[in-house]
């Protein structure tokens, strides 16, 4: 059941990137897509082991901490990418006074 929810989140993110014309909505779709990917990797990483990866004597069958560490890195990169995208959208809005991609393309061809 969890797998289908993760796939649904991923597909909503892809739909937001493809179907929406507003740049802010595309950035939100990109964030949802990133969240789906992070959830997928954490879900796949949870299949191995049952105990938290804390190093103590006698603890066996620990969860692999590598996917979790990689996903923390992916979260940080996603936040940085969002900040950069929002800064670029702000500059586009200041120049063209719109957030619609089709209108921005039309105005840039007219220049």
Q: Tell me which of 3.30.230.10, 3.30.70.1060, 1.10.287.3510, 3.40.50.2000 is the CATH number of domain 2-110.
A: 1.10.287.3510
Share of the chain above pLDDT 70, in %: 100
Q: What is the reported pLDDT for 63?
A: 78
- What is the three-class DSSP state of 47? coil
Q: What is the pLDDT along the chain (111 residues), one digit of tens a residue?
A: 899 999 999 999 999 999 999 999 999 999 999 999 999 998 888 787 777 777 777 777 777 788 888 999 999 999 999 999 999 999 999 999 999 999 999 999 987
Q: What is the reported pLDDT for 46?
A: 78
Q: How many CB atoms lie within 10 A of CB 6?
A: 20
Going from the C-alpha of 76 to that of each of 42, 55, 72, 73, 95, the distances in angstroms are 15, 26, 6, 5, 29
- What is the three-class DSSP state of 65? helix
Q: What is the reported pLDDT for 56?
A: 76
- How many whole angstroms from its chain centre is CA 45? 18
Q: Report the run of H or E that residue 108 belongs to, with start and end.
A: helix 101-110
Q: What is the reported pLDDT for 96?
A: 95
Q: What is the reported pLDDT for 58?
A: 77
Domain boundaries, the chain: 2-110
Q: What is the reported pLDDT for 36?
A: 96
Contacts of 102 (CB under 8 A, 6+ apart): 21
């Amino acid at each position: 059941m969890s797998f289908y929810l993760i796939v649904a989140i991923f597909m909503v993110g892809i739909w937001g990137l493809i179907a929406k014309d507003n740049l802010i909505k595309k950035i939100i779709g990109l964030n949802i897509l990133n969240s789906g990917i992070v959830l997928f990797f954490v879900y796949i990483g949870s299949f191995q082991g049952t105990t938290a990866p804390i190093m103590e004597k006698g603890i066996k069958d620990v969860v692999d901490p590598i996917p979790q560490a990689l996903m923390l890195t992916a979260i940080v990169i996603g936040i940085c990418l969002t900040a950069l995208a929002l800064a670029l959208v702000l500059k586009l809005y200041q120049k063209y006074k719109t957030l619609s991609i089709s209108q921005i393309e039309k105005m840039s061809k007219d220049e």
